[in-house]
Amino acid sequence: MKFFVDTAVVDEIRTALSWGILDGVTTNPTLVAKTGRRFEDVKREILALVKGPVSLEVTKMDFAGMMEQAHALAAEGPQVVVKVPLTKEGIQACKALSDEGIRTNVTLCFSANQALLAAKAGATYISPFVGRLDDISEDGMLLIGDILQVYRNYGFQTQVLAASIRHPVHVLQAAKLGAHVCTVPFKVLEQLFNHPLTDRGNEQFLKDWAKVPGQA
Ligand code: G3P
């Protein structure tokens, strides 16, 4: 499973890259707004750092406007993946961009039928929002399994990108189901490292090492 970090905070991306486990980045308008910085600056810095796929989202909701933004974003670098919403216009743009060889990430997916539309339109990635389904008392992970099954049935190449991840168990469940990608908030990525037995074991090893003659 590929790991993307779901953030627009450049320091978080830099740190995750330094761990050697990061494959790409996803952003959205909310994540960019949270930084309090200009999108132009955030985008330039992220693209200078990250060689893997970087999802940048369009904010125009009409087809022509979306296509104009998508072309401008795609021109920023070969790693740019254009994120479009799962609307009629978004799917239309996805198809047109895919025909042009521009990679897309179809976002705000909440059903397997929506995911089927995105795959038929040639989406590179589909982003089902697991946490937001959990928030309304649905089981978001069931959707990941359903989409994988539907895509397998027809050999679609669209990659399932588990999004709206809220905790480490979501990451494990996505991996067990075989999601191609999981986009993980920085805090959750950090949590994946933690285990109290690792800390305790390491502490003991260091204490014992200090007892080895000549090592104190
Ligand atoms: O990038 C889209 C997605 O991951 C948003 O997550 O936590 O706002 O539902 P969340």
| 201 SS3 class | helix
Nearest-CA residue for ligand 1 atom 4 is 164
Place of tokens 């990608």: 181
Is 83 noted as a catalytic residue in this protein? yes
pTM of the model: 0.96
**In this structure, how many other beta carbons lie within 10 angstroms of the beta carbon of residue 8?**
25
- In sequence order, which ranges of the chain are alpha helices (DSSP H)? 10-18, 29-35, 39-49, 63-74, 88-99, 112-120, 130-135, 140-154, 168-177, 186-191, 196-211
- Paired tokens of 195: 């285990």
Place of tokens 């330039």: 44
**pLDDT digits (tens), the chain, 216 positions:** 999 999 999 999 999 999 999 999 999 999 999 999 999 999 999 999 999 999 999 999 999 999 999 999 999 999 999 999 999 999 999 999 999 999 999 999 999 999 999 999 999 999 999 999 999 999 999 999 999 999 999 999 999 999 999 999 999 999 999 999 999 999 999 999 999 999 999 999 999 999 999 986
- Paired tokens of 211: 């007892």
- Which residues does a 6 A CB cutoff place in the pocket of ligand 1? 6, 26, 28, 129, 131-132, 163-164, 183
* Per-residue pLDDT at 64: 98
From the list 34, 60, 83, 211, the catalytic residue is 83
Residue 119: closest CA among 142, 146, 79: 146
Nearest-CA residue for ligand 1 atom 9 is 164
**Rounded distance, CA 74 to CA 174, Å?**
28
* Per-residue pLDDT at 80: 98
* Per-residue pLDDT at 7: 98
